[in-house]
Amino acid sequence: MKLDGATVVVVGMARSGVAAAGLLSEQGAKVRRVDQKPGDGVLPQVEESFRGADLVVLSPGVPADVDVAAQARARGVPVIGDLELASWFLRGEIIGITGSNGKTTTTALTGHILKASGIAAQVGGNIGTPPCSLVKTSRAGQWNVLELSSFQLETTETFRAKIGSALNVTPDHLDRHYTFENYAEMKARLFTRQRAGDFAVLNADDPVCQSYAWRGTGKPIWFSSSGTVSPGAFVDRDWILLDGAPLMKTGEIPLRGMHNVENVMAAAAVARLAGASHDQIRAAVMTFSGVEHRLEFVRELEGVKWYNDSKATNVDAALKAIAAFDGGLWIILGGKDKNGDYAPLAAALQAKARGALLIGAAAGKIKAQLRGAVPLIESETIAGAVREARARARPGDTVLLAPACASFDQFENYEHRGRVFKQLVRELA
């Protein structure tokens, strides 16, 4: 689409929307900035703001079926997202990584491996730098390593990744996508436009990920923690094998939990396709320190260890966090409900936890669904939960923030929630 002189409405003025508006202006478009909170050159999100638009660009936080977008489509106006817009201008090939859980760690690790291996790469997407902000620094011969959410993939039309990866697909964001089938379909969009010569790195142990192998014409590359796969990566006793050759021992991975072994296998398979050697991959993995808010060790105080996994924003992520510990857990649960089912947490809590500290808007629902599993302590806020955990935990115990919920009832985002938690823990006497 010719953007020079076109009237383009950008909806949502958070980081991604601001970056999209900037890119459009650089391309000569006449940009209207729209948000639910107007002011300072930002128009209200009402139908009048969309009149005469040639194109509408939605930020990831704006649902694709929002009324003003539906009305624009009815008038024949194209409606896309910021990822689609960025892909029109990004130079170099794209690596796209999605999944319900683990995609931030895997994206950061993939970028770390490539850079440590001397392979040109930049990292962004749903992690850190918005896609449109990567356009200026992109160049031919460089990999654009993108973490991709269902919100971003939902509004793509021509976007294509040279290498796409799906780590796992479990129920999440059902408050936005309504059904699990719709949510899984959004993830599938990463693969539907792949063609011969492209690659789909998929979790062989996840039936939804398996189904993505036939959605495009990219070549499937597998990873598995439970069986032998080829081509790809799998665990054989205490070794990871990649393309049939030993890569590294699982004990050499500096991250906790079997889910991080799976993340390493996915990142290794992607990095190998992008040109990294086995030795380079192993060395880079061993120097990867992890990502903030993902099973992040905060401190040990009087024999009690405190961990921040604020990124555990759904039940499956919380289950993976619980599985990374041997027991003695005091787990902080709650926040904004995403139409989740918390009952699957019961067995894991009975096996590993001494109690659960409930916070936020979802506390009542969680209490009703987990009643009888472990002691449930209504704490209302993060500060309340930290106080309760400090009073109850004994030497050898672990306090784990793994909320299984979004953060927007009490915080700006999961990063804000995690940083508040860490500050409270560090201030404990």
Which residues are marked as active site? 103, 126, 173
- Per DSSP, the three-state class of 147 is strand
Q: Spell out where 128-275 has E strands.
A: 143-147, 163-166, 199-203, 219-224, 232-236, 239-242, 245-249
**Other C-beta atoms within 10 Å of 351: how many?**
13
End-to-end Cα, the chain, rounded Å = 60
Of residues 294, 278, 136, 226, the one with CA closest to residue 236: 226
Residue found by looking up tokens 């947490």 in the block: 345
d(CA 307, CA 83): 33
Neighbours of 203 (CB within 10 A): 26
Q: Cα separation of 229 and 401, whole Å?
A: 35
Per-residue DSSP letter, 46: S
Give the separation between CA 123 and CA 164, rounded to whole angstroms: 14
Distance CA 345, CA 328 (A): 16
Contact 204, 232 (CB under 8 A): yes
The three-state secondary structure class of 10 is strand
| Cα→Cα distances 88→82, 94, 132, 135, 144, Å | 10, 12, 10, 9, 13
Structure tokens, 121 = 């790469």
- Kindly compute the dihedral angle of the four CA atoms of residues 251, 347, 293, 156, in this order, to the nearest 10 degrees: 100
Residue 362 identity (one-letter amino acid): A
- Pairwise CA distance, residues 35 & 37, whole Å: 5
* Alpha carbons 51 and 77: distance in angstroms, whole number: 10
